[in-house]
Amino acid sequence: MRILTVVGARPQFIKAAAVSRELRKKPEVEEILIHTGQHFDAGMSDIFFEQMEIPRPDHRLQISGMNHGAMTGRMLEGVEALITDRKPDWVLIYGDTNSTLAGALAAAKLHVPVAHVEAGLRSFNMRMPEEINRVLADRISSVLFCPTAHAVSNLEAEGYRNLNVEIQLVGDVMQDAALFYKSRARRPESVSTYARDDLILATVHRAENTDDRERLTQIVMALNRLHRDQPVVLPLHPRTRKCLEKYGLKLDLHVIEPVGYLEMVWLLEHAQIVLTDSGGLQKEAYFFGRPCVTLRDETEWVELVERGVNYLSGANAESILSAVGRMRPVTVMDDDQLYGGGQAARRIAQYFV
Ligand code: UDP
């Protein structure tokens, strides 16, 4: 059984770390790992391979920094050539990036079955590039590994039970990663002078926030205001850095370079609350028992909002500040009911043998 895995962006490295570990326990499975290059520098890519002991990519396409069309097109070409050459039995894709879509499309056109990890998620906002990628990737996959019951019901509502496709509720591979790496937390060097237990951990990188001057301005205002009373730490995504410069906005808080996963675990353990527009971090806040304010108008991880541990503040400064006031005292307990309790990668690997 030969599986060709396509990854390219930070959250995919984290997901693949969990699944590759399980796949490589199976002697019947040969995994070929392709890195498209979407995220390529040391802080956004290499550090994850090193820290999380992800196998070295067998192929690097080195495609990054273009518009969506050019990037996806070149990835499609590159992945197609590798599928033709390596002849896998399956192509394995993760999440909702351009690398996901390119992998799915290249495989489907060559009649190689596609397995999609993190299938069935929906924001119902088709202006998000991620939503377009995930809807299209799901539609041309043969097996859909869903992280939550809600993801399964999204697919059912779209009529997937009538299609020739398998839907598997496996749980969330990011919970597997959180449990596996929890004990290896590492303090980021950059926070040594203000390390304490009640940080506000913030990340911002969704295009809907960074590419919209008004939304980004409001978020910056709220974060700067919060930092006057309580340290806000923000590992700054390269896209956000560019947009802040473009709009002339200044973050008056602890801005640090993007950190590795183990440093992120440390920050989560030392945070009182998380403010983010990241998909992954919303769940990690929950895995590490922290309340979360999501700087978006909708989320794919609705079960956390229903539980009252995540609050959608949108991107208005006043709404963000009042959301933080409301969420700070919330107690968060993961009872392993929502995301599978750390068994997702094992279930996925089992499927292939
Ligand atoms: N993350 C990280 N270092 C950082 C910021 C985020 O390791 O400086 C991790 C985070 O803990 C989570 C993943 O990256 O596991 C989320 O990726 P991102 O926010 O880029 O993408 P999304 O989840 O929104 O697709």
Nearest CA to ligand 1 atom 15: 280
Q: What is the pLDDT along the chain (353 residues), one digit of tens a residue?
A: 999 999 999 999 999 999 999 999 999 999 999 999 999 999 999 999 999 999 999 999 999 999 999 999 999 999 999 999 999 999 999 999 999 999 999 999 999 999 999 999 999 999 999 999 999 999 999 999 999 999 999 999 999 999 999 999 999 999 999 999 999 999 999 887 777 889 999 999 999 999 999 999 999 999 999 999 999 999 999 999 999 999 999 999 999 999 999 999 999 999 999 999 999 999 999 999 999 999 999 999 999 999 999 999 999 999 999 999 999 999 999 887 899 999 999 999 999 99
Please report where in the chains the tokens 């008004």 appear, as a residue. 214
CA distances from 323 to 22, 96, 327 (A): 39, 28, 6
Pocket test for ligand 1, best of 40, 123, 203 (most atoms within 8 A of CB): 203
Q: How far is Cα 38 from Cα 93, in angstroms, rounded to an integer?
A: 14
The Å distance, Cα 274 to ligand 1 centre, comes to 13
Q: Which residues are catalytic?
A: 205
DSSP notation for 52-77: TTPPPPSEE----SS-HHHHHHHHHH
Per residue in 38-47, is it b (16+ CB within 10 Å) or e — as a string? bbbeeebbeb
The Å distance, Cα 147 to ligand 1 centre, comes to 17
Pocket test for ligand 1, best of 281, 284, 300 (most atoms within 8 A of CB): 281
Pocket test for ligand 1, best of 179, 265, 278 (most atoms within 8 A of CB): 278
Contact 159, 322 (CB under 8 A): no
The Å distance, Cα 81 to ligand 1 centre, comes to 30
- pTM for the structure as a whole: 0.97
Residue 91: strand pairing partners: 4, 114
Residues lining ligand 1, Cβ inside 6 A: 10-11, 14, 203, 205, 235, 258-261, 264, 278-281, 284
Q: How far is Cα 122 from Cα 274, in angstroms, rounded to an integer?
A: 22
The Å distance, Cα 134 to ligand 1 centre, comes to 18
Q: How far is Cα 252 from Cα 275, in angstroms, rounded to an integer?
A: 16
All domains in the chain, ordered by first residue: 2-169 (3.40.50.2000), 183-327 (3.40.50.2000)
The Å distance, Cα 213 to ligand 1 centre, comes to 22
